[in-house]
Amino acid sequence: MVEKNSDPDTSGFTRRSFLTGSAVSAVAPLAAGAAQAQEMPAFEADPRAPLPVTLIINKRPVRLQLDARTSLLDALRQHAGMAGTKKGCDHGQCGACSVLVDGVRQLSCMSFAVMLDGHEIETIEGLAAPGGTLHPMQQAFVDHDAFQCGYCTPGQIMSAIGCVNEGHAETDDDIREYMSGNLCRCAAYPNIVAAIRQARDEMKEA
Ligand code: FES
Ligand code: FES
């Protein structure tokens, strides 16, 4: 019987024989790979084993042992004992976890701590002078009542400092645009813009 869809006139090569041959040739490398895998020595390092990491937090080296999957946010809050940086969404959508890394604002929930070994991290705890004098951005937030519950405020302030340093705070529109990654559930936005405007001018004079 001639097989349906086969073409017996083309060197006797049927669809069934092609498929059978393909299956055999596909299985052969798998079998070879399995045999090779059995011969390979076991990988002994435990991928969950803690790794040594040194973060320079607010100019002080902090040595930690961290699972490679630990975010910078969790490293700060749960391992370095610095809970000033807040966890809102934990997946890059609210800005509550903003810190400065080597002077550039970054979402700490989206950064693996082990990738920042030896880098400079600046958090809200490091802004005030040793005598307690507030950073101009902190003082401006106080002066303008730029918060209500305060949960978003550490992230707002760190992000605002980054925004000014980037030169993205020259106009109110710029401030609104470049601070749009920092959400405030209390909607203190007009006061936040006013605070950044004040701090921008003071930071320029400093
Ligand atoms: S906690 Fe990082 S962006 Fe929301
Ligand atoms: S002050 Fe409450 S979320 Fe911003």
Ligand 1 contact via 90 beta carbon (within 6 Å): yes
Strands (E), 7-88: 51-57, 60-66
Contact 71, 112 (CB under 8 A): yes
Quote the CA–CA distance of 107 and 129 in Å, as a whole number.
24
Angle between helices 153-166 and 189-205 (to 10 degrees): 50
How crowded is the C-beta side of 158, counted as CA atoms within 13 Å? 28
77-99 pLDDT tens trace? 999 999 999 999 999 999 999 99
CA distance 179 to 92: 14
The reported pLDDT for the residue numbered 35 is 53
- Dist. CA 196 → ligand 1 center (Å): 21
Please give the model's pTM, rounded to 2 decimal places: 0.79
Q: Which two tokens stand for residue 81?
A: 């004992």
Query: How many other C-beta atoms lie within 10 A of the C-beta of residue 201?
Result: 14
What's the confidence (pLDDT) of residue 128? 98
Ligand 1 atom nearest to 181, measured from its CA: 3
Q: Please list, in sequence order, all residues whose beta carbon lies within 8 angstroms of the beta carbon of residue 186, skipping any fewer than 6 positions away.
A: 147, 148, 149, 152
Residue closest via CA to ligand 1's atom 3 equals 92
**What's the pLDDT at 169?**
98
Written as six digits, the tokens of 75 are: 């490293």
Probe target for ligand 2 pocket from 98, 124, 147, with the most ligand atoms within 8 Å of CB: 147
Q: What is the pLDDT of residues 24-73, one digit of tens each?
A: 444 444 445 555 556 766 667 787 899 999 999 999 999 999 999 999 99
Dist. CA 160 → ligand 2 center (Å): 15
* H/E run at residue 165: helix 153-166
SS3 169: coil
pLDDT band at 119 (very low <50, low <70, confident <90, very high): very high
DSSP type of residue 69: T
Cβ distance 75 to 52 under 8 Å? no
Distance 158 CA to ligand 1 centre (A): 13
- Report pLDDT digits (tens) over 126-176: 999 999 999 999 999 999 999 999 999 999 999 999 999 999 999 999 999
Q: What local confidence, expressed as pLDDT, does residue 41 receive? A: 61
Q: Tell me the sheet residues that pair with 61.
A: 56
Choosing from 91, 159, 179, 182 the residue with most ligand 1 atoms within 8 A of its CB, the one to mutate for a pocket test is 91
Q: Is 51 in the pocket of ligand 2 (CB under 6 A)?
A: no
Please report the atom of ligand 2 found closest to the CA of residue 146. Answer: 1
For residue 185, which of 157, 143, 156 has the smallest C-alpha distance? Answer: 156
Task: Please state the rounded mean pLDDT for residues 13-25.
Answer: 46
Q: Which of 190, 1, 191, 155 lies closest to 73, judged by CA?
A: 155
